[in-house]
Amino acid sequence: MTVGQVRGKVGLMCIRPSMKRLLIGTRRLLLASRLDRLARAATGRRHIVLTFHRVRPDGEALDSYDTCPSLPTGVFRCLLKWLKSHFEILPLEELVRTRSVSRPAAAVTFDDGWQDNFSLAYPVLRELNIPATVFVTTAKIGSYSPFWQQNLGKLFRGATAEPTSNRARDLRQVLATGSNPSFTPEAYRATVTKWKDLPIAEVDRRLSQAGWSPSENSEATRSFLSVDEIREMAREGISFGSHTVNHLILPVQPSDILSRELANSRQDLEAILGTSVTTIAYPNGDWSADVVRCAASVGYRVGCTTRHGRLTTRSASLLIPRIEPEWDCPECGDTFDARSLEWLAKW
């Protein structure tokens, strides 16, 4: 044995423990990342279902007296392009069925069935070849009348513009806000939140007390999708689901109304489409055990909530969480920026 050999052997003996530690550490890391991959595959925890409502023309300001979220068309297009480069975009039912896939996947949904889903969103979806599901409020198909929330918004806007008018006085009385009323967008949103659980007849009564006449319900342009638009989109691969008949808050409805809202909207849509409809989005995202039981009993297989979260293998198919990209709130304007994308990428 030469000195060199001795030195070498001693050296190797000295290195061995640290090499061993390194090897063990590396193996642990590899195992951890493999486990992480397996866990991701098993739980499908990187899947997301996005909710959209309205898409508005570029350059049109966000209406602060409207609680329905909307994105400018350019922002919507940009967001979908980004989504496509980071997620595999699948039809909702397929994603719910195959959610154990390990690659990050997303589904795109729209609530309410607004006409701009056809005129503004659909061309973008077609251009980017992105599947989507539109949840339709069937009593509103082809309607020129928006929801009561938009009508209330017009009353607030009018009262802000003319605070001494009779209508402002009437609205003040209905709101019981005293002599120093606030008709700000914040007060409007708070009123919508307060009125949401009221029976629709009571909401109508309050609106008419505040001077709203049913003849004003009709807009110059159609608010919601027509039968022809629904059929054209369906021919091109867009899926349709129910958003009930009248957009009522389901958990507070008596059982006969609840089952009518769920069953009739499904039948209405099946009659239009000529295919089976098995998806629903609960209005306002509100559900209860009775609502879910009733949805299952009338034939729905996938139900969407507005609970913020990822789709995992543990998510109940009739209680799918979703994420709404709200990037243009009245406070910060249109903020489609890197921060928003980073936030979404975390999912």
Closest to Zn ion by CB, 87 vs 114, is 114
* Contact footprint for Zn ion (CB under 5 A): 111-112, 283
The runs of H, that is alpha helices, within 274-314 are 289-297
CB of 135 to Zn ion, least distance (A): 7
Cβ proximity to Zn ion, 66 vs 111, nearer residue? 111
Minimum distance, C-beta of residue 342 to Zn ion, in the bound complex (Å):
28
Closer residue to Zn ion, CB minimum distance, 182 or 306: 306
Q: Which of 216, 213, 271, 215 is CA-nearest to residue 242?
A: 271
Do the strands 70-72 and 88-89 form a parallel or antiparallel pair, or are they unpaired? unpaired
Minimum gap (Å) between residue 165 Cβ and Zn ion: 31
- In terms of CB distance, is 112 or 261 closer to Zn ion? 112
Q: CA 150, CA 74: separation in Å to the nearest integer?
A: 24
> The tokens of 35 are what?
């486990």
- Judged by beta carbon, residue 44 or residue 283, the one nearer Zn ion is 283
Contact partners, residue 230, CB within 8 Å, separation at least 6: 113, 134, 136, 141, 240, 272, 273
Q: Which of 120, 92, 89, 124 is nearest to 105 (CA)?
A: 89
> Considering beta carbons, is residue 153 or 283 the nearer one to Zn ion?
283
Closest to 132 (Cα-Cα) out of 76, 177, 184: 76
Q: How far is the CB of 30 from Zn ion (least distance, A)?
A: 47
Using the minimum distance from each CB to Zn ion, give the nearer residue, 93 or 111.
111
Task: Give me the helix-helix angle, 338-345 and 73-86, nearest 10°.
Answer: 40
Residue of minimal CB distance from Zn ion?
111
Smallest distance, Å, CB 247 to Zn ion? 6
Shortest distance, position 138 Cβ to Zn ion, whole Å? 12
In angstroms, give the least distance from the CB of 149 to Zn ion. Answer: 10
**Which residue matches tokens 């008949």?**
245
Q: Which residues contact 96 (CB under 8 A, 6 or more apart)?
A: 107, 302, 311, 317, 320
